[in-house]
Amino acid sequence: MTSTEFNNNLEKIESLLFGFAMKLAQNKENAKDLMQETLMRSYKHKDRFTEGTNFKAWVTTIMYNSFVNNYRKKKTRNKVVKPMEDFSYMIANKSVEGNGESAIMMKELKKMVGNLSENYKVPFELMIEGYHYDEIAEKINLPMGTVKSRIFYARKKLQGMVNKKYGGVENIMAA
């Protein structure tokens, strides 16, 4: 297919393609990006188009595959595993080094984690070390649902211990 033929075919379906991009992306800016990527890929590989086949189907398939690939990239890129709670706002204003209260509190929290039964402690400690649920499940040979459940209950038990000892996380923050 020559560049002229490609442009002529594309002009006929350009508005349909943008409508399809809007349907996929749900956002005008993302639809424009998807449209641009689709046009670049289809032009780059115009020699792969088989004459006599449906040009619109070929280009929309490229668009759909581009959308799915971008979605998968974003999905894995944004995968975050948070520990028990996000205490980053505390660390921003206080130095941990040389802060005796912080050192004592960390020792007490580690002791509380140590008091958990092995069923809850092992998956929880692996999660704190940065392992993802699927890696933990593989490492300790348990189904992922069981791992998630045990980590959830470990958090609840630790939260109960903190509440019992300090009267809640809010009181720790005030200290």
| pLDDT digits 0-9 by tens, 36-50 | 999 999 999 988 888
Per-residue pLDDT of 42-88, as tens digits, reads: 999 988 888 889 999 999 999 999 999 888 887 776 565 555 555 55
pLDDT of residue 99: 63
Task: Please give the residue range of the domain that contains residue 163.
Answer: 88-174
Residue 98 backbone class (left: φ over 0; alpha: ψ -120 to 50; beta: rest)? left
Q: Are 21 and 31 in contact (CB under 8 A)?
A: yes
Q: Of 56-60, 122-126, 134-138, 168-172, which gets the smallest average pLDDT?
A: 168-172
The number of distinct structural domains making up the chain is 2
Of residues 173 and 141, the one with the higher pLDDT is 141
Q: Does one domain contain both 108 and 159?
A: yes
Structure tokens at 141: 């040979």
Nearest to residue 21, comparing CAs of 78, 70, 75? 70
CA distance 89 to 13: 51
Q: Does one domain contain both 65 and 117?
A: no
Q: Does one domain contain both 97 and 168?
A: yes
Domain assignment present for residue 82? The answer is no
Q: Which of 77, 108, 141 is the last residue of a domain?
A: 77
Q: Does one domain contain both 72 and 97?
A: no
The size of the chain, in residues, is 175
Q: Does one domain contain both 96 and 61?
A: no
Q: Does one domain contain both 44 and 94?
A: no
CA distance 66 to 41: 9
Q: Does one domain contain both 15 and 36?
A: yes
Q: Are 24 and 64 in contact (CB under 8 A)?
A: yes
What letter would DSSP give residue 46?
Answer: G
Domain assignment present for residue 37? The answer is yes
Domain assignment present for residue 83? The answer is no
Q: Which of 44, 77, 110 is the last residue of a domain?
A: 77
Of residues 153 and 98, the one with the higher pLDDT is 153
Q: Are 1 and 43 in contact (CB under 8 A)?
A: no
Distance of CA 98 to the CA centre of its chain: 35
Q: Does one domain contain both 31 and 95?
A: no
